[in-house]
Structure 1
Amino acid sequence: MLIYTLVLIGILILAYFLFVNFNPSFGGDVSDERKQQYASSKQFGEGIFKNTEDVPKDPSFSELLTMTRKFFFSSVENGRPGQNLSVEKIDSTSIADYTSQTRLIWFGHSSFLLQINSKNILIDPMLGDVPAPHPWLGGSRFNKELPIAIEKLPKIDAVLISHDHYDHLDYESIQKLKDKVGKFYVPLGVGVHLESWNVPKDAIMEMDWWQDTYFDDLQFVCTPAQHFSGRKFNNRQSTLWSSWVILSESERIFFSGDSGYSPHFKEIGNIYGPFDFAMLECGQYNKMWPDIHMFPEETAQAGLDVKAKTIMPIHWGAFKLALHSWTDPIERVSKKARELQIHMISPKIGEPIILGNLNNESEHWWEQPNNP
């Protein structure tokens, strides 16, 4: 029996090794030379990136087994919509020819198309069906169709990426996008994945927290988040994670990326706020990992912290990555936003978000019969 067990373990290790090394979706690895370059970052030490607070704690083996068992074997009532979510469609001509007020198109989860100052900017463009290195390893998207297919997108001037997890950085999406993108802006280390997927080095700019750069008449600031990184077992924390500030001459936009609640929101708000619009993580939370994802009530509070005039909850409405119902995030954050008297919108996937017209409350589309 012991021999059979050891043989089985050996086969599993070999299978994992082959899978990781021959599947390009895992991305690249940070070399020792690059680690030396990152040594000047305040977030880098002992060969990995770290949060300002001492989180997340590495779970014990028993805790890891408990989380795995609960995630894969727990039944979650209303964990997915009863049918595919409908989306509002948008055609490529209306995007390519758009020169009016700043607007965003939500693709679900944390993916956006931002059209500002006659530029097309994608934010965390996970436009694939399954947030995993293989379709068998994850659940599919709640909506079969996207507002627009990747192939029909016009030229993309810039892409902002918050971190390297599969629900934010997708191999298939990058493969379809890379030849139409002018520049990728990413946190330190994330460029290794793009380079392994044949994105030219001169099309990638890696940035540290609080570093800023200008893209024509726009300013991008790589700002803190409280999260973690890694695309396989042996490269956790090898790349940095971030939020993003986008500034034009007349507008201020904040994108939280993935983050637990921490003082960095107030710090960002004090330096770059008030924001006209803030896209804030709200989904995939659990008491087993409270430091790396916000609970909905914390999302609303973070909106106050960054001094946002209007907030939009994101990181929900597309994938089941936690043990709450699919509508729990939006129901709870809506209630808390009302209590805190902060203006919140919750547009349907694909519905245009016009920054100059955010005064009206969005309909509760997730409660409608065609979106149960």
Structure 2
Amino acid sequence: MLKLILKKMGIIIGIGILILVLGIILFLYLSPQFGGTPTAVQEEKFSLTNHYKEGKFINSGNVDMSMGLQDMGKSIVGYFKQTKGVIPEQPILVETILPSDLLNYTGKIRLFWFGHSTFLLQIQSKNILIDPMFGEVPAPHPMLGSKRFSNHLPITIKDLPRIDAVLISHDHYDHLDYDSISKLKDKVDAFYTPLGVGSHLESWGISKDKIHELDWWEEIMFSDLKFVCTPAQHFSGRGISDKAKTLWSSWIITSKDDNIFFSGDSGYGKHFKDIGEKYGPFDFAMIECGQYNTLWHDIHMYPEETVQAALDVKAKLMMPIHWGAFKLAMHEWNEPVERLLEASKTQNINIIVPKIGQEIQIEKDTNNTEAWWDEVNAEAN
């Protein structure tokens, strides 16, 4: 009798495991979240670059992007571990943006930060979105990631004005979000991405003639603006088998009056000096500062390196980004900005740290570092 019961239990467990595995396989292959795959024609173009080898993009200097099983295990445990301070104890308050305040803007350059690396840039009467991640969780499924630190965003996608162009730095979920793109695509005129990232956009129903893929150091004119796709030290991939199949980058946006730098995600490297020497100085630089760890130091900077990167690109004014929205590392949520400000004390550099949703006016905000994050912690206590 006992053998029969155990046998039935084994069959039930086996069927359950089979269903789970089948469900995972179907999700991996059928979910639109994972995006598309570069075509053979695209890959032929990739092979002409000096940073594409054996079917994958590589970093300058062959910086290693791999992580061993032991380190991978540590990062997974650390990610799901509930550690005090890693997530704010209460939601971050954001400033509301009224739709009417954005319509038909013709003034001097200004930006709005949505947390992490997402920005709306209004320049030369144009609306430019950078890395538009408006989703709740930076993952292919809500169960695979932690929620945004704020309960809502400054403005909904529906209430945004017509978007002239979208710039995307790479295809990771915290920078390229399927639901956000799906809601945005009908109100965007053009998309600019590093090589290969357009394959995701095409798979999500965006017309090929709206997509412009660039290699590092390539320039393209968009009306009276110049976009430059510049290097970064990172990696890409949305699924199990597509690591480094698309390129990652930083971006430069130049008008007749302003020169802007957006770092994307990057470890510290020589490319910052190269960018500064070729295209600097920059009136404003948005530079990664957050989601770092010793396990992946080559692909994400420490805050002290963020300060050095700002000096390398010759930034007149710098803002730390890639923090304040999601838990993607094990440090306390406000540690990046605290370390950054401490490191900057001995350097001649202007830094701003605006609230999420606050209007950023480059000419006026030359040293706005009001510690609003301290208020979040104080109110929680």
TM-score class, shorter-chain normalisation, is over 0.9
How far is 1:4 from its partner?
A: 10
Do 1:223 and 1:245's aligned partners in 2 also have CA atoms closer than 8 Å? yes
Residue 364 of structure 1 is matched in structure 2 by 371
Moved more, 127-136 or 62-71: 62-71
Do 1:86 and 1:371's aligned partners in 2 also have CA atoms closer than 8 Å? no
Residue 146 of structure 2 is matched in structure 1 by 139
Do 1:109 and 1:316's aligned partners in 2 also have CA atoms closer than 8 Å? yes
1:152 and 2:159 equivalent? yes
Residue 19 of structure 1 is matched in structure 2 by 27
Residue 53 of structure 1 is matched in structure 2 by 61
Do 1:56 and 1:228's aligned partners in 2 also have CA atoms closer than 8 Å? no
Instruction: Give the secondary structure class of the aligned counterpart of 1:69.
Output: helix
Residue 62 of structure 1 is matched in structure 2 by 70
1:207-218 superposed matches below 5 A? 207-218=214-225
1:1-372 superposed matches below 5 A? 13-73=21-81, 75-368=82-375, 369-370=378-379
Question: When the two structures are superposed, what TM-score results if normalisation uses the length of structure 1?
Answer: 0.96
Do 2:65 and 2:299's aligned partners in 1 also have CA atoms closer than 8 Å? no
Q: Which protein has the larger Cα radius of gyration, Structure 1 or Structure 2?
A: 2
CA distance in 2, matches of 1:10, 1:219: 53
Equivalent residue letter for 1:19: F
CA distance in 2, matches of 1:43, 1:19: 32
Do 1:26 and 1:231's aligned partners in 2 also have CA atoms closer than 8 Å? yes
How far is 1:72 from its partner?
A: 2.0
How far is 1:36 from its partner?
A: 1.4
Distance change (3 Å), C-alpha of 1:345 and 1:232: same
Do 2:65 and 2:235's aligned partners in 1 also have CA atoms closer than 8 Å? no
Instruction: Give the secondary structure class of the aligned counterpart of 1:339.
Output: coil
Moved more, 87-96 or 29-38: 29-38
Do 1:277 and 1:309's aligned partners in 2 also have CA atoms closer than 8 Å? yes
Distance change (3 Å), C-alpha of 1:98 and 1:57: closer
How far is 1:17 from its partner?
A: 1.7
Do 1:85 and 1:370's aligned partners in 2 also have CA atoms closer than 8 Å? no
How far is 1:32 from its partner?
A: 2.7
Moved more, 22-31 or 157-166: 22-31
Do 2:354 and 2:368's aligned partners in 1 also have CA atoms closer than 8 Å? no
How far is 1:98 from its partner?
A: 1.5
1:196-230 C-alpha deviation (Å, 9 max, x unpaired):
00010000000000000001110000000000000
Distance change (3 Å), C-alpha of 1:297 and 1:5: farther
1:98-152 C-alpha deviation (Å, 9 max, x unpaired):
1111000000000000000000000000011110001111111011111111110
Instruction: Give the secondary structure class of the aligned counterpart of 1:189.
Output: coil
CA distance in 2, matches of 1:340, 1:5: 61
Do 1:84 and 1:371's aligned partners in 2 also have CA atoms closer than 8 Å? no
How far is 1:7 from its partner?
A: 7.7
CA distance in 1, matches of 2:135, 2:252: 25
CA distance in 1, matches of 2:237, 2:13: 29
Equivalences, count: 371
Equivalent residue letter for 1:31: T
Quick one: percent identity of the two aligned structures?
A: 54
1:62-106 C-alpha deviation (Å, 9 max, x unpaired):
332232223223x42211111111111111111013111100000
Instruction: Give the secondary structure class of the aligned counterpart of 2:274.
Output: helix
Instruction: Give the secondary structure class of the aligned counterpart of 1:280.
Output: strand
Structure 2, unaligned runs of 5 or more = 1-8
RMSD between aligned residues: 1.9
Equivalent residue letter for 1:290: H
How far is 1:337 from its partner?
A: 1.3
1:136-189 C-alpha deviation (Å, 9 max, x unpaired):
111110111111111101100000000000000000000110000000000000
CA distance in 2, matches of 1:118, 1:43: 36
Do 2:320 and 2:337's aligned partners in 1 also have CA atoms closer than 8 Å? yes
CA distance in 2, matches of 1:10, 1:35: 36
Instruction: Give the secondary structure class of the aligned counterpart of 2:346.
Output: helix
